[in-house]
Structure 1
């Protein structure tokens, strides 16, 4: 009997959509690396999907009109904003003061002395400005060193912008600093902070939160086996999960995830247009398949009706998973999952509304694979979850060998 695939149909479909979205800009190897699958496996999935889907059919064709409508609306909005930009741009009034009194001289005082030295003389200008001549001459002597520092700052700023752009504007000071260190740069974090502040480069921040848990008060709860201790010494010691939702036009797309608390890796997820128990069951089954075995692990969640359902309890019993639940209405009892949702929404849904389910699924799937493979995590010493797991497994093998 053939061994069942560890990748469910939902994962394979989203993987094919991610490859198609690259439009030839990325190779099978690049996309497969983010998905943590073999490139030939991805190639097979794409070939099978192309054999099943005739040109002009499928979700791509269905979404064309919706996407065109969204682009037309966005174009109309931008054109309207362009007409009224001058009145609302907040630019300084004509003839207004751009600086506070004294700032014109204090910030560029030595440049001022150099510019008018031949006209008025250095001694006279320094006396009027109440600055020392010795300070001016020290500034002259350090001109070459300043130019070198400025050139180095310009080069570093260019790298910071490249990293910031590559990660879609989501990385802040600490992650950009970690990325630079990962590239071999020996650079102080305060220097990175200064350059980002001066050049107005900043990470993305989430401003709004909303509670989504709907508890079933009649269902018997499981005990809290985690007790807000979101740490684990080994992989597959503790998992946690939760549900969130994404607005898509006038509808909702629901997402359930399972995270390994040790590595913070998303090992299972599922997306659907409903919040039934099947949503969390599919995510849990994917997690078990990812680990390729039945696991003796604690699974922690809130007391939402999906996690307290009989169907979910039966699946946990089938795989030998011990259920754990926090208290009703306490986000801190499942803080790791809440923090994960904040990161996802901050980095994929900031000031935007998805127009189609296909676009929403693709963006979320792409972020989940990026999160596992490349996104640096502060708790993991700024390694990605995949890198942390690889390092953890190498250390464990060395310990066993010793």
Structure 2
């Protein structure tokens, strides 16, 4: 794919950086695959793996070959953003949505989620007062962190937000500020 679109970009790296996010991998990973293909095709020096792989187009596997190393033309390899499985929050939301149709236990078994974990999630949705002390404190701190961050033109990282909060007599650990800022703001250091 990179070779096909190489002419549209000023360099191979520019083509790689453009294509990699579209197929769900990093630029370095795609570059490694390109180099491996160049070695296998003889364009680059190195140890080839052509003899150890299965013939292309067959979709067959050698003993011990990972499923993602199969022939991509057979549709065996899939790139998904965020890993092989959806995050637990997405899985639990799916169960919430379809629990009346399929039942909780069978879906937990298929999704490999402990039913007790799902029940805990459902109980917290029904009664937010059951959240732990840390979760309750986090909910109180998030608006304060956001206020300090926005008051300083949204350029403060966790360290400066923490220092400012301590100056304002809001007792909080630096690692807590960092943990709470990480999922919401790009500016974390």
Q: For the superposition of Structure 1 and Structure 2, which TM-score range results when normalised by the shorter chain?
A: 0.3 to 0.5
Normalised by the length of structure 1, the TM-score is 0.24
Structure having the larger proportion of residues in strand: 1
Kindly indicate whether structure 1 or structure 2 has the higher relative contact order, using CA contacts under 8 Å at least 6 residues apart: 1
Structure having the larger proportion of residues in helix: 2
Q: Indicate the structure (1 or 2) with the bigger Cα radius of gyration.
A: 1
Normalised by the length of structure 2, the TM-score is 0.46
